[in-house]
Amino acid sequence: MPRIKKIRLCDSVIEAVKEMIAEEGFKPGDKFYSENELTKQLGVSRSSIREAVKILETTGFVSVRQGKGIFITDRQGLRFEEFTGWLKNNEQAIRDNFEVRMILESKVARYAAAKADTDDIRRLQEAHTAFIKYARENDTERAIVCDGRFHRRLAAATKNETLHVLMKAITTKLPTGWISSLYTPGRMEKTINEHSDIVAAVKKGDAAGAENAMMRHLLNAVHDISCHIEAEQVKPEEGAG
C-alpha cells in the first residue's frame, strides 16, 4: 500500500480505505484495521484517520463500535424499497451530478484517448477487469469502488492534473451518481459493455470515439435511473381500485 501524500489528506485517506475494503476481501461484518494500523499503513496522522473514519461511518461504509473497533457495514443489505425511496427523494441531485459528468467526462475520455500511454491503458484495463469481476459476482459495493477507479484512471490518462483532481473530487465527494446508477436493475451489466467501448476507443487512440462512448454511457445511465423511478411511481396506481 503506497503512503498517502499529505495533500487533500482526508479525501486521499477515504479513497485509500475504500480501495483497501474492495481489494483485500473485507466483507460485511468483518473487523477492519484499527486506527493505529491505518496510521502505519497509510503514513498519515491519527487525527486524519479519525476524520476519514467518521465520514465513512456517516456515509455507511463502516461502523465504529466503542471499545471493539471498526467494522464493515452491510450496505448490500439495504432493502430495495429503501433504495428506491432514496432515488425518488434525490432525483434532482442525481440529474445535476450526471449533467456535470457529461460536460466533464466526455472531454476526459477524448483527451485520454489522445494522450494515454501503454501504462495508462494497462491501468485502465485493470480497473475495468476488476469491475467486471465484481459485477458478475453481483457485489455492488466493490463494483462501485472499481467504477470510481476506472473513471479516475481515465482522467489520469489525460496528463492534465486539473482534470484528474476534478474527477477525484466527483468520485469521493459526490458518490450518489455512481451508487444510484449501479444499484439500478440491469445497470451493472450495461456498464460492462459501455466501459468496454470506452477502453477500446482509448486503445485505438480514437478521441472522437472515446468521447461518444462516454456520452452514451452517461446518457444511458441517467435514462435507466429515470425509467426506474417512473416505473416505481406508477405501481400504486396499477394496484388501485
Residue with cell 487525527: 47
pLDDT of residue 1: 53
Kindly tell me the sign of the dihedral angle through the C-alpha atoms of 73, 172, 128, 96.
Answer: positive
Residue 241 confidence class, pLDDT cut points 50, 70, 90? very low
Rg over alpha carbons for the chain, rounded to the nearest Å, is 19
pLDDT of residue 82: 56
Q: Which amino acid is at 23?
A: E
Higher-confidence position of 81 and 160:
160
Q: For residue 236, is pLDDT > 70?
A: no
Higher-confidence position of 216 and 100:
216
Higher-confidence position of 92 and 179:
92
Encode pLDDT of 1-16 as tens digits.
555 444 467 878 888 8
Q: For residue 52, is pLDDT > 70?
A: yes
Q: Pick the most confident of 77-91, 131-145, 161-175.
A: 131-145
Q: For residue 179, is pLDDT > 80?
A: no
pLDDT of residue 178: 59
Residue 76 corresponds to which cell in the numbers above?
A: 448490500
Q: For residue 56, is pLDDT > 50?
A: yes
Domain boundaries, the chain: 9-76, 80-238
CB 2 within 8 A of CB 17: no
Mean pLDDT across the chain: 84
Residue 240 confidence class, pLDDT cut points 50, 70, 90? very low
Q: Please state the CATH superfamily assignment of the domain spanning residues 80-238 in this structure.
A: GntR ligand-binding domain-like (1.20.120.530)
Q: For residue 47, is pLDDT > 80?
A: yes
Q: For residue 96, is pLDDT > 60?
A: yes
Q: What is the mean pLDDT of residues 64-79?
A: 77
Q: How far apart are CA 157 and CA 111, in angstroms?
A: 8
- What fold characterizes domain 9-76? Arc Repressor Mutant, subunit A (1.10.10)
DSSP state of 137: T
Q: What is the mean pLDDT of residues 166-175?
A: 70
Encode pLDDT of 111-162 as tens digits.
999 999 999 999 999 999 999 999 999 888 788 888 988 999 999 999 999 9
Q: What is the mean pLDDT of residues 165-182?
A: 69
